[in-house]
Chain A
Amino acid sequence: GENVEQHPSTLSVQEGDSAVIKCTYSDSASNYFPWYKQELGKRPQLIIDIRSNVGEKKDQRIAVTLNKTAKHFSLHITETQPEDSAVYFCAATDSWGKLQFGAGTQVVVTP
């Protein structure tokens, strides 16, 4: 089955700097890669996703890149703000729709 590895587990950045979170996956059949943001005690909220026919996608300060050959994908947050502080999860799914999540990255943005 699919195995998703996520790094780093914690990430501290100064406000205004960029944050990068990296994930790798094992199942070459995986074709959908969402990123979720989870604030303490809240539900995971989708922030961006990418499908296997695309190499990069951007939405304002957030971008995701996908390298299918290497089986890795990354989340980039630019111009970080204190409200970006949360746990971020990457996930991968195959055609059956089962999301396999990474272990999460605790992002702390310090003013």
Chain B
Amino acid sequence: EPEVTQTPSHQVTQMGQEVILRCVPISNHLYFYWYRQILGQKVEFLVSFYNNEISEKSEIFDDQFSVERPDGSNFTLKIRSTKLEDSAMYFCASSERKRTDTQYFGPGTRLTVL
């Protein structure tokens, strides 16, 4: 069964550094999402992406964040200058044909900012 994949599984970085988190959505899916989950808390929406542009973003997704689909398979989340409070698990998700199709989550990238 196809799955969303994410790399790396764990990323450790120094405050102020840039990080890029990578995701490969399920191949026939058209809608892509990033969520984050701070340890012990709920999953929070960051951004949705369709047809090579952002559909919606939350107040968390400020100018330090950006997303890109650099090729036909990858979907990336970039944090330009990481802060301590960016430490969290970041999940990528994708859905098939429309926004209200089931969203399938990747295994997550644990980001630790020191």
Interface residues, chain A, with chain B CB atoms under 8 Å away: 31-32, 34, 36, 42-46, 49, 51, 89, 91, 93, 95-104
Contacts and interface: CB of A to CB of B under 8 A. Distances in A.
Interface secondary structure of A, over-half rule = strand
Interface string B41-71: 1111100100000011010000000000000
B91 interface: yes
B42 A43 contact: no
Nearest to B50: A97
A45 B103 CA distance: 10
A32 B17 CA distance: 38
A44 B102 contact: no
A95 B95 CA distance: 13
B100 A44 contact: no
B31 interface: yes
B87 to A, nearest CB: 15
Interface of B: 31, 33, 35, 41-45, 48, 55-56, 58, 91, 95, 98-100, 102-108
A101 B42 contact: yes
Given A43-B91, A43-B105, A44-B105, A31 B100 contact: yes
Contacts of B56: 96-98
Contacts of A102: 42
A42 B43 contact: no
Given A96-B56, A97-B99, 8 more contacts: A36-B43, A43-B105, A44-B43, A89-B43, A91-B43, A96-B55, A98-B33, A101-B42
B21 to A, nearest CB: 14
Contacts of A43: 91, 105-108
Best-surrounded residue of A91, A97, A102 (most CB of chain B within 10 A):
A97
Nearest to B40: A104
Contact of A95 (B33, B35, B99, B102): B99
B99 A96 contact: yes
